[in-house]
Amino acid sequence: MYVMKENIINRAINVLDANFQKGGFTIPSKGLYPFQWKWDSGFIAVGLAHYNIDHAKKEIETLLNAQWDNGFIPHIVFHTDDDSYFPGHDFHRSDLHPLSSKKYKSTGMTQPPVTAFVLQDMLNIVDDKEDMLNFIKGQIDKVYDNHVYFYENRDPQNEGLVYIYHNWESGTDNSPVWDDIWDTMNPPEYTFERKDTTHVDASQRPSKREYDHYLYIIDIAKQNNYDDAKIAELSPFLVQDPLFNAMLIKSNKALMELYELFGGNEDKIAYLRKNQERSIAAFNQKLWDNELGAYVHYDMRNDKPIRHVSSSSFSPLFAGIPSKERAEVLVNTMMDRFGGDDKYLCASFDPTDNRFNPRKYWRGPVWINMNWMLYRGLKEYGYKEIAARVQNDSIELVERDGFFEYFDCRKDTGEEIRKGYGGDNFSWTAALIIDLLKG
Ligand code: 2M8
């Protein structure tokens, strides 16, 4: 066991080192994703903190350097002019927003706010606490400003829940949850050259028609210079996502705890506390589906819940959102639908739903970042055995199938040689496996 563990950790370190760039950030996967992604950076920094603290700090620093003057942090920072990815900076045009960074080209959309809880994790991992505290002191206000940005600009009805206006903001790009929204839209047929399908089999990626929807939503945002109020008024995609809001809540807590360590900052702590209470209450009230026994997404544009269970439904465990009683219902739902003996935990979409696809990206495969959060959440609520299963399943998949982007949740795929799906040598898989093995 010990030798095996060391061996995976060394392989994971090799993946991360190979993906680290001169500019001080880590690409998610060579070829497929050649820039810096917001939530990837966070997960990567957790892994880096175990063996290369300088790189871990750099990862966070380079991301936060690209913050806009209104506190917004973009989902992709285009540090280089690489044209092997579509859509690139020339499509996204972050310069249209008056407060966007003048120094860094980026997208005009964001991703789940993981940075604050990542900073807290980094502090917990390293031995030299003083050094890390100094680093955090220099970065924390930027992360706070990002949370203020969300509450002041992404919550038009002042509910305590923030919206996302694009499926790429969710991180769960082609989840079947979005199919309900695509059904309400009829975007034009765009002409463009896909780059992702030159790196990964098309059967494991979103369809061309799905990409038309993705591009169309960006076009609407661009026509309005990425103005948040206009987007809230006009975007055909406007969703309160349980994963995104759970990350915000988890990060609010981390920010408050970190500020408390430093002393002072009473105003900031009070602001976060007020919003935290509202957010948790609204989350439990609006996003809980009693019949499904799970948290679900809410479609603000069409004013209705999107009633499907996905791995996002379980992310509130990581943020301490459900009561003990509700957590039990949620875990039972997960075990009934996702937890059969013939499956690895945890599929990204409900295997009992007819939209489930075990090979297609966010429509069913297991993702290590979601498992990492699930493992922590289950442990926190006292589900030690199920947590251990999530941990072991993750390690087994990576050990056998490789450091891939996503994995088949079926124990028997019908194929002789198993392999992971999507990009190979994928950074957050490597980073979080290190943390899962050490934790
Ligand atoms: C995937 O998303 C990008 C767009 O952001 C893509 O498909 O081109 C998602 O899995 C997302 O969650 C992830 O951050 C990104 C980079 O790993 O890839």
Residue 173 annotated as catalytic: yes
Is any ligand 1 atom within 6 A of the Cβ of residue 421? no
Q: Whose CA is nearest to atom 4 of ligand 1?
A: 168
Mean pLDDT score, 266-286: 98
Give a three-class secondary structure readout of 116-183: HHHHHHHHHHCCCHHHHHHHHHHHHHHHHHHHHHHHHHCCCCCCCCCCECCHHHHCCCCCHHHHHHHC
Ligand 1 atom with the smallest distance to the CA of 423 is 17
Pocket test for ligand 1, best of 75, 173, 247 (most atoms within 8 A of CB): 173
- CB-based contact 324:381 (threshold 8 Å): yes
For residue 18 the two structure tokens come to 């190979």
According to the model, what pLDDT value does residue 179 have?
Answer: 98
pLDDT digits (tens, 9 = 90+) for 53-80: 999 999 999 999 999 999 999 999 999 9
Which residue in 299, 405, 408, 435 is the catalytic one? 405
Query: In whole angstroms, what is the distance from residue 412 CA to residue 418 CA?
Result: 9
According to the model, what pLDDT value does residue 417 have?
Answer: 87
According to the model, what pLDDT value does residue 416 have?
Answer: 85
pLDDT band at residue 5 under the 50/70/90 scheme:
confident
Mean pLDDT score, 198-207: 94
Q: What pTM did the predictor assign?
A: 0.98
Is any ligand 1 atom within 6 A of the Cβ of residue 318? no
Query: Is residue 189 predicted with pLDDT exceeding 90?
Result: yes
According to the model, what pLDDT value does residue 1 have?
Answer: 58
Furthest-apart CA pair in the chain: how many Å? 60
Ligand 1 atom with the smallest distance to the CA of 172 is 12
Closest CA to 229 of 161, 152, 143, 160: 152
Mean pLDDT score, 191-214: 95
Query: Is residue 132 predicted with pLDDT exceeding 80?
Result: yes
According to the model, what pLDDT value does residue 4 have?
Answer: 78
According to the model, what pLDDT value does residue 217 have?
Answer: 98
For residue 203 the two structure tokens come to 């059967």
Ligand 1 atom with the smallest distance to the CA of 85 is 8
Distance 267 CA to ligand 1 centre (A): 35
H or E stretch covering 37 = strand 36-37
Q: For the chain, give the number of residues.
A: 439
Looking at every residue in the chain, the average pLDDT score rounds to: 97
Query: In whole angstroms, what is the distance from residue 386 CA to residue 335 CA?
Result: 9
Is any ligand 1 atom within 6 A of the Cβ of residue 328? no
pLDDT digits (tens, 9 = 90+) for 106-128: 999 999 999 999 999 999 999 99
Distance 173 CA to ligand 1 centre (A): 7
pLDDT band at residue 86 under the 50/70/90 scheme:
very high
- CB-based contact 40:75 (threshold 8 Å): no
Pocket test for ligand 1, best of 33, 166, 425 (most atoms within 8 A of CB): 33
Residue by residue, DSSP assigns 288-333 as: EETTTTEE-EEETTTTEEE---BGGGGGGGTTT-S-HHHHHHHHHH
According to the model, what pLDDT value does residue 105 have?
Answer: 98
Helix axes 427-438 and 368-380, enclosed angle (nearest 10): 30
Is any ligand 1 atom within 6 A of the Cβ of residue 85? no
Residue 399 annotated as catalytic: no
Percent with pLDDT over 90 in the chain: 97
Mean pLDDT score, 278-301: 98
According to the model, what pLDDT value does residue 2 have?
Answer: 64
Classify 26 as helix, strand or coil.
Answer: strand
According to the model, what pLDDT value does residue 376 have?
Answer: 98
According to the model, what pLDDT value does residue 6 have?
Answer: 86
Chain-centroid distance of CA 129 in Å reads: 27
pLDDT digits (tens, 9 = 90+) for 8-50: 999 999 999 999 999 999 999 999 999 999 999 999 999 999 9
Query: Is residue 439 predicted with pLDDT exceeding 80?
Result: no
Q: Is 397 exposed, middle or buried (0-12, 13-18, 19+ CB in 10 A)?
A: buried
